[in-house]
Amino acid sequence: MERNGTQQGKIVLGLGNTLRGDDGIGIAATAELAKKFAGRAEFVCTEEMGFALLDYLSGYEEALIIDSICTTGGEAGEIHRFSLEDFPPRANGSAHYLGLPEAAQLAREMRIPFPANVHILGIEISQPFDISPSLSPELKEKLPAILENLESLLRELL
């Protein structure tokens, strides 16, 4: 799913690392959702992060980002809903890394067109550091329910 050059409307951006097992859930889910919701938004999957996301988000009015998340006490497959405002920009230990909040702030300061509304859906995973080209058996089993929940959220947000 590559960008088609259209820079308006809505984008659903699936994030993750497909070589880190369950961290690839954002990409896997977005690829499936694109089959059902084609035409309602542009669907793009990428393993990039931080400042590189500006290339994908620039020019869109609204963005929905689907990624993995690992919280204390969360159940694998649970979906957490956030807005970009839930993650204020902050300094981290590296001058070479920008997260999404810092990239959004940079876009505003440089007057790069950036979505006014950014919705973030985090899919809970329990094994964020596994090295595997596929999802864990636990998450594979839960994938139909995850997709059903995401479809409901997309109907609301798109």
Tens digit of each residue's pLDDT (9 = 90 or more) over 134-155 = 999 999 999 999 999 999 999 9
Residues forming beta bridges with residue 124, ordered by sequence position: 69
**For residues 100 and 84, is the Cβ–Cβ distance under 8 A?**
yes
Read off the pLDDT of residues 29-82 as tens digits, 9 standing for 90 and up: 999 999 999 889 999 999 998 888 999 999 999 999 999 999 988 899 999 999
- Separation CA 18–CA 46 (nearest Å): 10
Q: Tokens 């961290």 sit at which residue? A: 23
- Joined together, the tokens standing for residue 111 give 């007057």
Residue 119 phi, psi dihedral angles, 5° rounding? -105, 140
* Residues 132, 134, 136, 139, Cα dihedral to 10°: 140
pTM: 0.88
Could you tell me the pLDDT band of residue 107, with boundaries at 50, 70 and 90? confident
- Separation CA 44–CA 106 (nearest Å): 22
Name the residue ranges covered by the structural domains of the chain: 10-157
pLDDT at residue 131 tops 90: yes
> CB 158: neighbour CB atoms within 10 A?
15
- Separation CA 106–CA 103 (nearest Å): 5
**For residues 18 and 131, is the Cβ–Cβ distance under 8 A?**
no
Pick the CATH number of 10-157 from 2.40.10.340, 3.40.50.300, 3.40.50.1450, 1.10.1740.10: 3.40.50.1450
pLDDT at residue 20 tops 50: yes
State the average pLDDT for the chain.
88
- Separation CA 107–CA 151 (nearest Å): 30
Where is 35: in which H helix or E strand? helix 25-37
Cα maximum dimension of the chain: 44
